[in-house]
């Protein structure tokens, strides 16, 4: 039996063209969902993959509709091969557990590895360039600027932590941490 799977990334996108292509390909049943490719929560795909059996054909319009990334696509296709299910990617062709099918899968695997390595290299290069900046800090960026913190600390000289928090929106814990770091606020400052 031929099964189709159609997916779009947002609720606003339409599945119409994918469903039409899958029907034209002769799919008897089409699972469809609207989930971003970055999420693993794709219940319709999971249910469809669970029902496929030897001799069935899984049809998708493009490989990126089936998987979040190349690695996941390869894992799904290898699982289908083990279960004697054919995978037909309309913009690529029929993938079978044959010499050519495995060749294509290995080629995809090599490309995926190259993509990962290039991403790692670009990330390392970008980080090295960023570290040349004297203001570079690794990790999450600060929510408040140095100027904002200094202003809030100056307000603590005549106001309580609670009052400064209400005036600036900077939390009491952030203020206390900054005060300890700066050691500008005397211990007897209002702490209520």
160 is catalytic: no
User: What does DSSP assign to residue 32?
Assistant: E
Q: Which among 9, 21, 160, 191 is annotated as catalytic?
A: 9
Nearest to 190 by CA among 170, 167, 172: 172
- What are the C-alpha distances in Å from 87 to residues 14, 35, 54, 80, 158? 23, 21, 12, 7, 71
User: Which residues is 6 bridged to in the sheet?
Assistant: 32
Altogether, the residues listed in the chain come to a count of 192
- What are the C-alpha distances in Å from 81 to residues 5, 47, 134? 17, 18, 53
Nearest to 179 by CA among 157, 153, 144: 153
Question: Which residues make Cβ contacts (< 8 Å) with residue 32, sequence separation at least 6?
Answer: 5, 6, 7, 15, 18, 19, 44
Burial class (CB in 10 A: 0-12, 13-18, 19+), 151: middle
| Maximum CA extent, the chain | 79
Could you give the residue numbers annotated as active site?
9
């Amino acid at each position: 039996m031929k099964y189709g799977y159609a997916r779009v990334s947002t609720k606003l996108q339409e599945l119409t063209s994918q469903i039409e292509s899958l029907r034209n390909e002769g799919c008897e049943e089409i699972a469809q969902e609207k989930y971003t490719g970055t999420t693993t929560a794709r219940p319709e795909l999971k249910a469809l993959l669970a029902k496929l059996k030897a001799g069935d054909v899984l049809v998708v319009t493009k490989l990126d509709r089936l998987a979040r990334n190349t690695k996941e696509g390869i894992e799904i296709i290898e699982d289908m091969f083990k279960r004697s299910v054919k995978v037909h990617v309309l913009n690529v062709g029929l993938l079978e557990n044959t010499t050519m099918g495995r060749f294509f899968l290995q080629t995809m695997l090599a490309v995926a590895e190259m993509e990962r390595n290039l991403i790692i290299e670009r990330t390392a290069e970008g980080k090295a360039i960023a570290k040349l900046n004297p203001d570079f800090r690794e990790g999450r960026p600060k929510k408040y600027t140095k100027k904002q913190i200094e202003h809030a600390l100056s307000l603590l000289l005549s106001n309580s932590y609670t009052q400064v928090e209400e005036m600036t929106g900077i939390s009491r814990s952030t203020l206390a941490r900054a005060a300890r770091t700066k050691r500008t606020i005397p211990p007897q400052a209002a702490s209520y």
